[in-house]
A = this chain, B = another copy of it.
Amino acid sequence: MAARRRLKAVLIDLSGTLHVEDSAVPGAQEALARLRRAPVSVRFVTNTTKECRRMLVERLHGLDFHIEEHEIFTSLSAACRQVERAGVRPLLLLHDSALEDFAGIETSDPNAVVIGLAPEHFNYQTMNKAFRLLLEGAPLIAIHKARYYKRKDGLALGPGPFVTGLEYATDTQATVVGKPEKTFFLEALRELDCQPEEAVMIGDDARDDVGGAQNSGMLGILVKTGKYRPGDEAKINPSPHVTCDSFPQAVDHILQHLL
């Protein structure tokens, strides 16, 4: 802790941290308002492959959170920046609802592949199209590599198996852009003029939120809501800076100990 600088930014996970499915975490709206009165920047970071920022903001407004679209940084935003930086024209294997975040990106005559959770594209013909682009040297950009996710009717395949299949077919490695990648957290801070040592991340996922943030030099606060299960603290090394019952306690900790 000796080398840490004054806290300048707080990154906050959305699903599982501010809300669980369609319910806000009790007291989270008020806690966010308190945090905003402190002299720190706030950004919201999430791994999503299906929802553009506008949809996320609409859901949050519906839960009475005061959050603006430009304050949200998602794995889709990270993929978009990666595409812009590389100057490539992506084949977008993404759910239709994600495409809005790629408005303005040139996609004709593609020379790159961006892949998220896109069941409608996970058929042989489209996978083959991606495969052939990769053989020609196109980079493979993965929103994330989740093995599966929970659906109402049970577990269902995530994008990870399809990314892995393309990696295997072409003997290449995808560039993963979502949490827990270090670059994701650095990109989220980029426009804040803030070093990782000046930031803290709050989230319910020990590996993706807390571990990823801490690997990039930030502090990480784990909250016991959402996907948290007892013992999750021990899954990462170093362990979280602190584990709090929920988002409001995490805000209290920041206001009392980190400012």
Once bound together, how far apart are the Cα atoms of A159 and B169, in whole Å?
Answer: 9
Closest to A125 in B: B119
Asked whether any CB of chain B lies closer than 8 Å to the CB of A259, the reply is no
The answer, among B122, B158, B169, for a CB contact under 8 Å with A157, is: B169
Which residues of B sit under 8 angstroms from A123, Cβ to Cβ?
A: 122-124
What is the bound-complex CA distance between A105 and B127, given in angstroms? 31
Query: Using an 8 Å CB-CB cutoff, how does the interface string of A63-94 with B read, 1 for contact, 0 for none?
Result: 00000000000000000000000000000000
Cross-chain contact A147 with B135 (CB below 8 angstroms): no
CB contacts (< 8 Å) of A155 on chain B: these are 131-132, 135
Please determine whether B166 and A154 come into contact, CB atoms closer than 8 angstroms.
no
Separation of A127 and B166 alpha carbons in the complex (Å): 15
Q: Which of A120-145 contact B (CB under 8 A)?
A: 120, 122-125, 127-128, 131-132, 135
Question: Does A165 touch B at the CB level, under 8 Å?
Answer: yes
Complex Cα gap A124–B168 (Å)? 18
Residues of B within 8 A of A122 (CB): 123-124, 127
Distance in Å: Cβ of A9 to nearest Cβ of chain B: 34
Docked pose: A122 CA to B165 CA in angstroms: 12
Which of A123, A135, A157: most chain B CB closer than 10 A? A157
Q: In the complex, what residues of B have CB within 8 A of residue A125's CB? A: 119
Distance in Å: Cβ of A176 to nearest Cβ of chain B: 13
A residues 144-202 near B (Cβ < 8 Å) are 147-148, 154-158, 160-162, 164-166, 168-171
What is the chain B residue whose CB lies nearest that of A165? Answer: B161
Bitwise interface map of A from 97 to 123 toward B, beta carbon under 8 Å scored 1, else 0? 000000000000000000000011011
A123 to B156, CA, bound (A): 13
Per the bound structure, the CA–CA distance linking A154 and B155 in Å amounts to 35
Asked if A127 contacts B168 (CB within 8 A), the reply is: no
- A132-B155, A148-B169, A161-B164 known; 13 new pairs, CB 8 Å cut-off, are A119-B124, A119-B125, A122-B123, A122-B127, A124-B157, A131-B155, A131-B157, A135-B155, A147-B171, A157-B165, A157-B169, A161-B165, A164-B165
